[in-house]
């Protein structure tokens, strides 16, 4: 009972803590459902219910029907019934509690009565003065008194008469009677109260009243909330016809809307969309929201946020939709404005950063240009010295070959000078400040020189062709330096990107109507294997076809950009046509003027740097040039040779040979051959030949030395490519067969000559060490061959005899110790069987030749790097004669040579 | 560029070389290299050092690639690369590079991956230091040659 009381209290407290906004007289638990703070239950259904009584358009007759037929309607009703039942339960519970209270009171009253009677008995049986007046009895009495007070509300019976007299008893009886009366009266009052409260309970809990009250409250609430809300609510049936609608600001009358669809009511943008949206929701059966902009005659352009949910009947079938719309035009406007602002902001920021970047890049470029200009300037001064000296040299007495060499040297120098000037002037070209010169020049010579220069540095098996039409004048007026530059650029590009075949220049005169009185000169350069997809960016500065290309071919990427700008500056145009695997043709058309014939004789001196007229008198009319690759042909022929009577590598099938390529005829070319030899012999350089040949012409030999070094590092690559290139053309083969026979003889000669000098072989894989050792040997007056590993060393020893071998211990493929063992075994047995077993490829036919020489023990000196693996004991154990610890010094080398070379 | 600072440049070069020797970056082998340079090969030192840098760059790149590989286990290959590097470094007299390479190599022989990584770091550091120094040296040298080459008409 106490427990129940407590829960009751708690429930009441709940209501106090969370005061509802409903009137206080209906503060039952069920009302908490409508508490704003505690939204619970089916709010939507309530709204629907209240629509019935809103002062707006509604189909009142249809609504109850709807309420009855739809699931939501029925759930609404069951909800109300539940509420009512709950309230009834509550009332019953309250009544029960009341009853219990009354019962308890009655029980108390009865208990009191009983006490009174007991007291009476007690008092009668045990008079008060029986115990002795001591403290304990007094205490006991007081305690009893207290106990009685607690039970019977301290209602003491006051008796004034003497104890145990008649009057006393009378008075006591009358007193008790009074108390009994009071008690009865109280009981009666309580019963009355009970019946009264029962009555009020009954009157309050009439279900209809309760419901009506609830509905009224809900309606009041909804009305309060919705009275100014810009909301349109409605219900549409399956065909999307309005069954009822709530609109605070109705612009249409009820009959205009009800029973019609959106499309029937409105016209304009968005209506169809909303209709479709509603249909979609109806079909999908899933409530959703969408923003739709209406542009109707009725209310102009407005954006509505529309919420549509499907409505089901009790059987779960869709019977229509509930629709709720709110105008959000302003919000949408604001939002869009915000988005636009944000977008603008982002764009501005991006532009800003882009601008910053550009500024940065521009600054960088400026700096780079500045640096380039300074650098170019620095290069220009010494270079002009070189060219000047060469020019002075050309005035001295020279033989024909020297003169030709010098000519090429000067024109190349000129070109470099010019290129540097161009780098300096590039900005000028771009801003159109570049000045063009108008001088007379001979196009044939220009073409020839360009090709000649290109051929001089050609490292591939390409044929360079110059083809000049007969009607091209001997002299034209133009800026020869620029034209040369363009041609050189195009040709060098062509060579760079062509792997085999022809590269050529064709020069012809075309009549171009747009050039009025001028004729136009076209020059085509052809090249192979231009990558087609790279064409759009060909003419961009510093742009290369791809990162791969840059790595593969190198270069600045400036060439074509300069060409194009130069051609355009001269009033011409540069175009390119290209097909993958078939080649590209760069064509440029330039207007030109013909030089008058009077000038011809005067100008001879002017062009003396380009062509020596005395030595090549017919050159001016020459229409066809061809330059064969020097290296390529040597590659294909193999054997070494000192080519004083070296055949020029020219096959002139179409026109008579009038021009002899100085480079081909020059003996200094043997430097190129020694590279070749190294390839033929499996990778070691015959240094002695390099030396002897360069004695002839120190300058040119020096010029080649750089190239030599480069070729060196690419040995293995060039070896394979040379084989490929030798298969290239069939035409060349005939002429070269004869050449190779010459060489065979010469090889024997050179071999004989060189036996007098001690031959040293260095077996070493580290390029640096090779370079250093070679240089040291040179200082000591010796030359040596190089092998890069044990296998190469064995091959070299097999090919020719050596007086001393310097052997690195740590090497790839075959290390020094093993190689030495194999060599020793060869010396003992006279055959290479051990080496062949070890996997070294040796040609047996040649072995027999050299076999005779291998009687002496070949001194092999180890070069160790002082690591544990390379102990001196091990060197000796493997048949080495001595060892030099690395790094090799001049002193050590000298001592070693003194000991082993006699 | 007027050819007036030849002596000063030479002094700078000597100072730089002295400090490099003092630091142990270079050793006497570098002097050997310089001795080899004569009229027939005026750029010998420069060429050798350049090739050395090209090669070493490749080797270091390979080493880094090898070591960066998670699945890496080819310590033998590392050893080969390092042998090359040790060999060429000692040939040009790059003592410090050589020494750190030797340490690196012993780490690789023990298959000690953290040791290898540390070794690589140190080698790279030393290598770059050497490269910078050499660059400076050659620049000075070049300036000196240019300055020495200037002649004024009497």
- Best-predicted range by mean pLDDT among A454-468, A549-563, A587-601? A454-468
Inform me whether the pLDDT recorded for A31 exceeds 90.
Answer: no
User: Measured between beta carbons, which residues in chain A are less than 8 angstroms from residue B84?
Assistant: 765-766
- Residue of A887, A888, A891, A893 to mutate, interface with B, max B Cβ within 10 Å: A887
User: Measured between beta carbons, which residues in chain A are less than 8 angstroms from residue B80?
Assistant: 812
- What total number of domains does chain B contain? 1
Beta-carbon contacts below 8 Å between A and B: 70
Does A516 sit behind a cis peptide bond, omega within 30 degrees of 0 on the bond before it? Answer: no
Put simply, whether A698 touches B (Cβ < 8 Å) is no
Q: Which long-range contacts (CB under 8 A, 24 or more apart) does A793-796 make?
A: A793/A761, A793/A763, A793/A819, A793/A823, A794/A819, A794/A822, A794/A823, A794/A826, A794/A832, A794/A835, A794/A840, A794/A842, A795/A681, A795/A682, A795/A683, A795/A840, A795/A841, A795/A842, A796/A681, A796/A682, A796/A684, A796/A761
B84/A888 CB distance under 8 A: no
Q: Compute the nearest-CA separation of A572 from chain B (Å).
A: 41
Which of A598, A585, A687, A670 is CA-nearest to residue A634? A670
**Average pLDDT of span A408-434:** 68
- Residue of B38, B43, B83 to mutate, interface with A, max A Cβ within 10 Å: B83
Chain B window 38-67: which residues touch A at a Cβ cutoff of 8 Å?
38, 40-41, 44, 47-48, 51-52, 55
Put simply, whether A383 touches B (Cβ < 8 Å) is no
pLDDT at site A523: 52
User: What band does B127 get if pLDDT is binned at 50, 70 and 90?
Assistant: very high
**Does B152 map to a domain?**
no
Put simply, whether A690 touches B (Cβ < 8 Å) is no
pLDDT at site A900: 83
Put simply, whether A1 touches B (Cβ < 8 Å) is no
Contact A485, A418 (CB under 8 A): yes
Contact A243, A235 (CB under 8 A): yes
User: What band does A141 get if pLDDT is binned at 50, 70 and 90?
Assistant: low
**Does B153 map to a domain?**
no
The alpha carbon torsion through A842, A846, A849, A853 (nearest 10 deg) reads -40
Look up residue A262 and give its two tokens: 């959106």
How many whole angstroms separate alpha carbon A720 and alpha carbon A367?
A: 44
- Best-predicted range by mean pLDDT among A442-451, A698-707, A860-869, B26-35? B26-35
How many whole angstroms separate alpha carbon A266 and alpha carbon A271?
A: 7
How many whole angstroms separate alpha carbon A52 and alpha carbon A58?
A: 7
How many whole angstroms separate alpha carbon A738 and alpha carbon A726?
A: 16
**Does B132 map to a domain?**
yes
Nearest beta carbon to residue A889 from set B32, B51, B80: B32
Position with higher pLDDT, A188 vs A466: A188
Q: How many angstroms separate the most distant Cα atoms in chain B?
A: 71
Position with higher pLDDT, A558 vs B86: B86
Digit-coded pLDDT (tens) for A699-722: 333 333 333 333 333 333 333 333
Distance between first and last Cα of chain B: 18
Residue the block writes with tokens 């142990």: B24
A812/B80 CB distance under 8 A: yes
Alpha helices in chain B (DSSP H): 6-23, 28-36, 44-68, 75-92, 95-109, 113-149
Chain A window 273-312: which residues touch B at a Cβ cutoff of 8 Å?
none
Domain coverage including residue B56: 2-35+44-146
Half-sphere exposure of A720 (CA within 13 A, CB side): 3
User: Measured between beta carbons, which residues in chain A are less than 8 angstroms from residue B1?
Assistant: 378
Length of chain B: 154
Do strands A476-478 and A439-441 pair parallel, antiparallel, or not at all (unpaired)? antiparallel
DSSP A313: B
Put simply, whether A676 touches B (Cβ < 8 Å) is no
Q: Compute the nearest-CA separation of A557 from chain B (Å).
A: 23
**CATH number for the domain including B69?**
1.20.120.160
Half-sphere exposure of A266 (CA within 13 A, CB side): 19
**Average pLDDT of span B53-71:** 87
Q: Compute the nearest-CA separation of A894 from chain B (Å).
A: 13
Strands (E), A105-241: 231-237
- Residue of B58, B88, B97 to mutate, interface with A, max A Cβ within 10 Å: B88
How many whole angstroms separate alpha carbon A524 and alpha carbon A508?
A: 9
Query: How many CB atoms are closer than 10 A to CB A376?
Result: 19
Put simply, whether A779 touches B (Cβ < 8 Å) is yes
Put simply, whether A775 touches B (Cβ < 8 Å) is yes
Digit-coded pLDDT (tens) for A793-821: 888 888 888 888 888 887 877 888 888 88
Q: Compute the nearest-CA separation of A431 from chain B (Å).
A: 31
DSSP B26: B
B87/A775 CB distance under 8 A: no
Digit-coded pLDDT (tens) for A441-465: 888 888 888 887 777 777 777 788 8
Look up residue A112 and give its two tokens: 């009191």
- Best-predicted range by mean pLDDT among A199-213, A214-228, B80-94? B80-94
Put simply, whether A865 touches B (Cβ < 8 Å) is yes
Inform me whether the pLDDT recorded for B75 exceeds 70.
Answer: yes
**Average pLDDT of span A554-579:** 71
Inform me whether the pLDDT recorded for A311 exceeds 70.
Answer: yes
How many whole angstroms separate alpha carbon A673 and alpha carbon A318?
A: 96
Strands (E), A18-117: none
Digit-coded pLDDT (tens) for A470-525: 887 888 888 887 788 788 878 877 777 777 777 888 888 877 544 333 344 455 55
User: What band does A186 get if pLDDT is binned at 50, 70 and 90?
Assistant: very high
Average pLDDT, chain A: 67
Distance between first and last Cα of chain A: 132
Look up residue A896 and give its two tokens: 């070693």
The secondary element (H helix, E strand) that includes residue A522 is strand A519-527
Look up residue A876 and give its two tokens: 């000796």
**Does B58 map to a domain?**
yes
User: Measured between beta carbons, which residues in chain B are less than 8 angstroms from residue A382?
Assistant: 146, 149
Put simply, whether B82 touches A (Cβ < 8 Å) is no
B69-104 per-residue burial string, b: 16 or more CB within 10 A, e: under 16: eeeeeebeebbbbbbbbbbbbbbbbbbbbbbbbbbb
**Does B114 map to a domain?**
yes
A779/B48 CB distance under 8 A: no
Digit-coded pLDDT (tens) for A390-419: 877 877 888 888 888 888 888 788 777 766
Assess: ipTM above 0.85: no
Q: Can you give the pTM of this predicted structure? A: 0.34
**Does B111 map to a domain?**
yes
Digit-coded pLDDT (tens) for A639-674: 333 333 333 333 333 333 333 333 333 333 333 333
**Does B49 map to a domain?**
yes
Dihedral sign for Cα atoms in the order A484, A486, A489, A491: negative
Contact B89, B114 (CB under 8 A): no
Inform me whether the pLDDT recorded for A28 exceeds 70.
Answer: no
CA A574-A578-A579 angle, to 5 degrees, is 175
**Does B50 map to a domain?**
yes
User: What band does B153 get if pLDDT is binned at 50, 70 and 90?
Assistant: low
Position with higher pLDDT, A772 vs A747: A772
pLDDT at site B97: 92
Do strands A624-627 and A784-787 pair parallel, antiparallel, or not at all (unpaired)? unpaired
Residue the block writes with tokens 């079909």: A283
pLDDT at site A143: 54
- Lowest-pLDDT range, A2-16, A142-156, A347-361, A728-742? A728-742
CA A696 to chain centre: 58
Look up residue A764 and give its two tokens: 């070493």
pLDDT at site A694: 33
Nearest beta carbon to residue B90 from set A382, A810, A887: A887
- Lowest-pLDDT range, A165-169, A418-422, A773-777? A418-422
Which residues, in sequence order, are CB contacts of A571 under 8 Å at separation 6+? Answer: A590, A591
User: Measured between beta carbons, which residues in chain B are less than 8 angstroms from residue A769?
Assistant: 87-88, 91
β-pair partners for A506: A467, A524
Inform me whether the pLDDT recorded for B147 exceeds 60.
Answer: yes
Put simply, whether A776 touches B (Cβ < 8 Å) is yes
Put simply, whether A886 touches B (Cβ < 8 Å) is yes
DSSP A802-821: -SEEEEESS-SSS-HHHHHH
B88/A812 CB distance under 8 A: no
């Amino acid at each position: 009972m106490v427990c129940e009381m407590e829960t009751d209290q708690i429930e009441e407290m709940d209501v106090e803590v969370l005061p509802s906004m409903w009137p206080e007289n209906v503060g039952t638990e069920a009302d908490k459902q409508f508490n704003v703070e505690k939204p619970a239950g089916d709010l939507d259904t309530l709204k629907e219910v209240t629509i019935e009584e809103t002062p707006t358009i509604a189909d009142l007759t249809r609504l109850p029907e709807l309420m009855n037929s739809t699931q939501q309607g029925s759930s609404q009703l069951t909800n109300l019934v539940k509420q009512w039942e709950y309230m009834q339960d509550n009332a019953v519970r309250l009544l029960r509690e009341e009853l219990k209270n009354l019962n308890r009171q009655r029980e108390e009253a009865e208990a009191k009565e009983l006490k009174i009677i007991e007291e009476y008995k007690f008092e009668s049986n045990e008079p008060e003065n029986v115990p002795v007046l001591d403290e304990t009895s007094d205490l006991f009495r007081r305690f009893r008194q207290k106990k009685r007070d607690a039970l019977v509300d301290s209602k003491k019976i006051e008796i004034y008469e003497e104890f145990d007299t008649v009057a006393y008893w009378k008075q006591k009886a009358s007193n008790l009677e009074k108390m009994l009366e009071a008690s009865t009266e109280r009981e009666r009052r309580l019963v009355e109260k009970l019946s009264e409260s029962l009555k009020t309970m009954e009157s309050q809990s009439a279900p209809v009243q309760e419901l009506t009250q609830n509905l009224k409250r809900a309606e009041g609430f909804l009305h309060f909330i919705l009275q100014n809300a810009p909301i349109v609510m409605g219900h549409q049936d399956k065909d999307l016809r309005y069954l009822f609608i709530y609109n605070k600001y109705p612009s249409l009358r009820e009959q205009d809307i009800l029973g019609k669809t959106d499309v029937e009511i409105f016209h304009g943008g968005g209506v169809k969309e909303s209709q479709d949206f509603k249909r979609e929701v109806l079909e999908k059966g899933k409530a959703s929201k969408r923003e739709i902009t209406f542009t109707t005659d009725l209310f102009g352009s407005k954006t509505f946020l529309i919420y549509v949910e499907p409505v089901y009947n009790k059987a779960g079938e869709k019977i229509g939709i509930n629709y709720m719309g709110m105008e959000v035009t302003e919000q949408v406007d604001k939002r869009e404005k915000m988005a636009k602002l944000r977008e603008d902001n982002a764009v501005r920021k991006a532009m800003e950063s882009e601008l910053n970047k550009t500024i940065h890049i521009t600054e960088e470029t400026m700096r780079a240009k500045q640096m380039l200009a300074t650098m170019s300037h620095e290069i220009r001064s010494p270079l002009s010295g070189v060219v000047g000296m060469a020019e002075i040299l050309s005035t001295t007495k020279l033989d024909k070959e020297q003169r030709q060499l010098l000519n090429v040297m000067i024109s190349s120098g000129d070109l470099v000078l010019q290129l540097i000037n161009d780098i300096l002037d590039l900005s000028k070209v771009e801003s159109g400040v570049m000045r063009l010169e108008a001088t007379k020049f001979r196009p044939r010579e220009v073409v020839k020189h360009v090709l000649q220069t290109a051929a001089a540095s050609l490292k591939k098996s390409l044929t360079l062709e110059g083809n000049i039409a007969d009607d091209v004048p001997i002299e034209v007026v133009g800026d020869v330096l620029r034209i040369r530059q363009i041609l050189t650029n195009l040709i060098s590009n062509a060579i760079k990107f062509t792997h085999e075949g022809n590269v050529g220049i064709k020069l012809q005169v075309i009549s171009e109507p747009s050039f009025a009185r001028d004729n136009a000169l076209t020059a085509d350069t052809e090249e192979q294997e231009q990558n087609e997809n790279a064409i759009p960016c060909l003419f961009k500065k510093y742009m290369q076809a791809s990162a791969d290309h840059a790595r593969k071919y190198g270069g600045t990427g400036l060439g074509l950009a300069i060409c194009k700008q130069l051609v355009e500056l001269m009033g011409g145009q540069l175009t390119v046509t290209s097909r993958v695997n078939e080649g590209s043709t760069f064509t440029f058309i330039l207007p030109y003027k013909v030089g008058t014939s009077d000038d011809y004789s005067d100008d001879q001196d002017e062009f003396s740097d380009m062509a020596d007229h005395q030595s090549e008198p017919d050159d001016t009319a020459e229409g066809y040039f061809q330059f064969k690759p020097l290296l390529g042909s040597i590659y294909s022929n193999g054997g070494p040779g000192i080519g004083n009577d070296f055949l020029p590598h020219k096959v002139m099938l179409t026109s008579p040979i009038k021009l002899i390529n100085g480079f081909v005829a020059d003996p200094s070319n043997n430097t190129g051959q020694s590279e070749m030899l190294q390839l033929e012999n499996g990778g070691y350089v015959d240094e002695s030949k390099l030396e002897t040949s360069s004695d002839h012409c120190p300058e040119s030999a020096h010029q080649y030395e750089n190239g030599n070094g480069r070729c060196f590092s690419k040995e293995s690559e060039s070896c394979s490519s040379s084989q490929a290139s030798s298969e290239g053309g069939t035409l060349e083969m005939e002429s070269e067969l004869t050449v190779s026979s010459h060489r065979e003889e010469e090889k024997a000669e050179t071999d004989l000559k060189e036996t007098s000098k001690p031959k040293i072989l260095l077996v070493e894989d580290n390029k640096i060490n090779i370079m250093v050792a070679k240089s040291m040997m040179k200082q000591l007056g010796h030359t040596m061959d190089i092998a890069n590993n044990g296998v190469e060393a064995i091959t070299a020893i097999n090919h020719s005899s050596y007086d001393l071998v310097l052997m690195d211990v740590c090497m790839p493929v075959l290390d020094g110790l093993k190689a030495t063992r194999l060599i020793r075994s060869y010396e003992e047995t006279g055959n290479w069987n051990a080496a062949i077993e070890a996997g070294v490829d040796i040609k047996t036919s040649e072995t027999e030749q050299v076999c005779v020489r291998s009687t002496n023990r070949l001194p092999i000196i180890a070069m160790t790097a002082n690591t544990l693996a390379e102990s001196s004991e091990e060197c000796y154990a493997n048949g080495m004669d001595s060892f030099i610890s690395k790094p090799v010094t001049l002193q050590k080398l000298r001592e070693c040579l003194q000991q082993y070379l006699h | 560029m007027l050819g007036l600072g030849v002596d000063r440049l030479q002094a700078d070069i000597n100072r730089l070389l002295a400090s490099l020797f003092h630091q142990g970056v270079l050793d006497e082998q570098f002097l050997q290299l310089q001795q080899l340079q004569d009229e027939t090969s005026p750029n010998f030192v420069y060429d050798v050092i350049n090739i050395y840098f090209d090669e070493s760059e490749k080797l270091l790149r390979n080493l880094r690639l090898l070591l960066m590989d998670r699945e890496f286990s080819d310590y033998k290959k590392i050893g080969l690369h390092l042998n090359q590097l040790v060999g060429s470094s000692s040939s040009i007299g790059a003592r410090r590079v050589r020494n750190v390479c030797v340490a690196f190599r012993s780490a690789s022989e023990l298959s000690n991956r953290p040791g290898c990584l540390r070794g690589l770091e140190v080698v790279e550091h030393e290598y770059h230091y050497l490269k910078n120094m050499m660059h400076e040296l050659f620049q000075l040298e070049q300036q000196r040659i240019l300055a020495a080459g200037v002649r004024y008409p009497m």
